[in-house]
Amino acid sequence: MYNRAEIIEQNFRRLLKEGGPFPQARVDITLGESGLTGPQLVDLFESQVMSRALDLRARELKNENKCFYTIGSSGHEGNAVFGRVFRLNDMAFLHYRSGALMVQRAKQLPASTPLYDGLLSFVAASDEPIAGGRHKVWGSRPLLVPPQTSTIASHLPKAVGAALSIRRARDLQYSQVMADDSVVICSFGDASANHATAQVAFNTASHVAYRNIPIPLVFLCEDNGIGISVPTPEGWIQSSFENRPQMKYFWADGLNLLHLHKVTREAETYARIRRKPVFLHTSVVRLMAHAGSDPEWSYKTFQEIERTEFNDPLLHSARIILENKLLSAEEILALYESVRERVRKISDYVVNLPKLTGAEEVRASLTANRHPRALPPMPSDDARRKVFGQEFDKLPSMPQHMAKLINYGLADILLRYKNSVIFGEDVAQKGGVYNVTDGLHKKFGPRRVFNSMLDETSILGNAIGFAHNGLLPIPEIQFLAYVHNAEDQIRGEASTLAFFSQGQFTNPMIIRVAGLAYQKGFGGHFHNDNSLAIFRDIPGLIIAVPSNGADAVKMMRACVRTAETEGRVVIFIEPIALYMTKDLHAEGDKEWSFTYPPLEEEIAVGDFGVYSHGVAVPGKVAADDEVLILTYGNGYFYSRQAEKELREKYKVKCTVVDLRWIAPVNWEKLMPLARNFTRVCIVEECRKTGSFSEQLVAGLVERWSGAGESSWAGGEPRFPKIKVIAADDCFIPLGPAAAAGLPKKAEIVAGILELKGI
């Protein structure tokens, strides 16, 4: 009684054999009016059957403990129409009920194997062509479908970005993935339409179109009236979207291939010709519950379940085919049975294929990149002179603060990387809140440097979409605390793409984030956010935190090169309190002002700086140094102040390491240095709980204990004394107390004296 999959299949066979009754159409439309020919209609029906056969076989295999995924497309098979109407160069971001769409889209590509590929994903076979058995995703590089792991709406913002990128890439005369007349499609369910992330995407699309900026995007809302067990109020989607500004609303009967094809072509033509966003609302049903583990009868009556099952889109399509005398009932059943048998035979083969078993296999695709891009040539002196003007000749000799040096660095990046774009809140004419991007809009124009909406989710979503189409985005997040509004775009979308596509898709980008604490002008936890925990546990993410302007430029160059050539996602944290800092020990000493580094100079990802005995050294220390200080960012600035006082006043010698990179940590280089010391002080500007210092302490102890005989004395491991000087586990207040509870020179000096027993 509870195996609804079997009942749905039995109903289909029985009604075909008995000649009905079949569900009736909600819209009167003829085959001729639909724009379909007879063979095309039968072809769409075959795709529907193929999708259904995959769903049914997944349920059967699950019962045999051979399948790991049973969220199916049953009831949504009308989306095969989308697979026919839209082109292969129309990038597609798809939700999990897109089986028929993928089957039909694959038919546009000769020699494709959608049934085989689908079954490989159901059983998590390592030969599965997109994710390699890491997850059940709809994705394909040849079909231009980036894999989607989201079950809600986090893929919508990047669809907006991809659509925006088409005209921008054309204007920049940069070779893009899509064609100049492509559109982007993005599918989702009615429940997902209510999600905050989805609302961001809808609002951004309307806002952009309102400003007459081309955005050829088709939102495909497949409305089955329920989100797992929570019903969507009848009429809610239509009333919510039919009057959105600058977004054209279409409705189609998703159970009727004729009506759906007619309306979809209208929607596609509107988006492609007008370059405007479209909201295509299709009414469908959900069959076989949310997934195989969902007991639908616990929240629906059997009468409701049976009523929905009678509206099976395969029965609707069979009726249309019979009415138009394209196939007989016997021929429809024969088609159905032949597809079911094909799926059975394929599944019997794929269940025995190898699967991922080891951690190394799983990790192999974490930062993979199958489509590396070549490094562009350095800009010429003539080109640089035009951009820098009178400042060009002063670059090697005029010391500047960090903000100005980053500005110079971004100018050279825009010159060298013709596909790079800088955007964010207030970055254009205003030049950013801290003037870091000052003048770049005027020098490079509004297509390279432009303002975004005041919304971090759309900024990061746009960046991912731009990267999908070949651009190199450098988005700015105005304050570190603002990332929390949009972290899933980094964690759930950008950072997972290479992993779930085995490097077939990447979204290279450098996310500039103004952040950390110690500000005197701004106060409060929204402008002084001293936590990097949000980034630190994201696999494969590069996290850079420069402490001074010269390092910032050289690190940024390495970040951009790594993003462009390796497809990596980079977080570049710019310490706000150090933007305008010029002096280190005394007012006017200019020891924190630096000249602009030569173009060829970079600091490789993971490389740290060493300062010992009052000078920077190449990773070596004097034998009589007593304390190792590990730090970064503002912590390095204050540690340098403390080092001088400790050396001159207390005769305590310290080596200060500016780690520069929060991820990855270069342990292979750091540990040989650290083992020269018996005392280690970690200066951590972030809150102690959840801070980077926790990882450093654990890493030091773990590696010290495995260091070999040189670290053993008397049979016991010779561990160093370790002290952590970190920020309080407290939010930062407004006003004079803004720096209270944060490590500064006095706290560092006192901590090291305590470590020394002085």
209 within 8 A of 241, measured Cβ to Cβ: no
410 within 8 A of 474, measured Cβ to Cβ: yes
173 within 8 A of 215, measured Cβ to Cβ: no
Is the pLDDT reported for residue 111 higher than 80? yes
Is the pLDDT reported for residue 713 higher than 60? no
Q: Strand order of the sheet with strand 542-544?
A: 449-451, 420-424, 472-477, 509-515, 569-575, 542-544, 661-663
311 within 8 A of 74, measured Cβ to Cβ: no
Q: In this structure, what token pair is assigned to residue 538?
A: 């994201």
Rounded Cα–Cα distance for residues 225 and 500 (Å) = 30
DSSP 3-state of 743: coil
Could you read off the pLDDT of 583-613 as tens digits, one per residue?
999 999 999 999 999 999 999 999 999 998 7
Is the pLDDT reported for residue 293 higher than 90? no
Q: How many contiguous H segments (helices) and E segments (strands) does the chain have?
A: 26, 22
Where are the alpha helices (H) located in 351-375, listed in sequence order?
359-363
Rounded Cα–Cα distance for residues 370 and 365 (Å) = 10
What is the set of domains in the chain, with CATH numbers?
4-352 (3.40.50.970), 381-578 (3.40.50.970), 610-756 (3.40.50.920)
pLDDT for the residue 711: 47
Could you read off the pLDDT of 366-422 as tens digits, one per residue?
999 999 999 999 999 999 999 999 999 999 999 999 999 999 999 999 999 999 999
pLDDT bin (cut points 50, 70, 90) of residue 291 is: confident
pLDDT bin (cut points 50, 70, 90) of residue 614 is: low
Q: Average pLDDT of the chain?
A: 93
Q: Which of 111-120, 239-248, 327-336, 707-716 has the lowest mean pLDDT?
A: 707-716
Could you read off the pLDDT of 629-644 as tens digits, one per residue?
999 999 999 999 999 9
333 within 8 A of 315, measured Cβ to Cβ: no
Among candidate residues 738, 755, 617, 636, the one with its CA nearest the CA of residue 685: 636
- Report how far Cα 481 is from the mean position of its chain's Cα atoms: 18
Among candidate residues 420, 513, 455, 448, the one with its CA nearest the CA of residue 156: 455
Rounded Cα–Cα distance for residues 276 and 268 (Å) = 10
Is the pLDDT reported for residue 658 higher than 60? yes
pLDDT for the residue 150: 66
705 within 8 A of 719, measured Cβ to Cβ: yes
Measured in Å, how far apart are the chain's first and last C-alpha atoms?
A: 79
Q: Which of 64-73, 395-404, 683-692 has the lowest mean pLDDT?
A: 64-73
- Identify the helix (H) or strand (E) that includes residue 279: strand 278-283
Question: Mean pLDDT throughout 212-223?
Answer: 98
Among candidate residues 418, 465, 473, 587, the one with its CA nearest the CA of residue 165: 465
Rounded Cα–Cα distance for residues 712 and 697 (Å) = 19
Is the pLDDT reported for residue 622 higher than 60? no
Could you read off the pLDDT of 138-156 as tens digits, one per residue?
999 999 999 987 668 999 9
Q: 249-265 burial, b if ≥16 CB within 10 A, otherwise e? A: bbbbbbbbbbbbbbbbb
pLDDT for the residue 689: 94
| Paired strand residues for 477 | 513
Could you read off the pLDDT of 438-461 as tens digits, one per residue?
999 999 999 999 999 999 999 999
Burial of 526 (0-12, 13-18, 19+ CB in 10 A): middle
Percentage of the chain exceeding pLDDT 90: 87
pLDDT bin (cut points 50, 70, 90) of residue 321 is: very high
Rounded Cα–Cα distance for residues 306 and 4 (Å) = 9
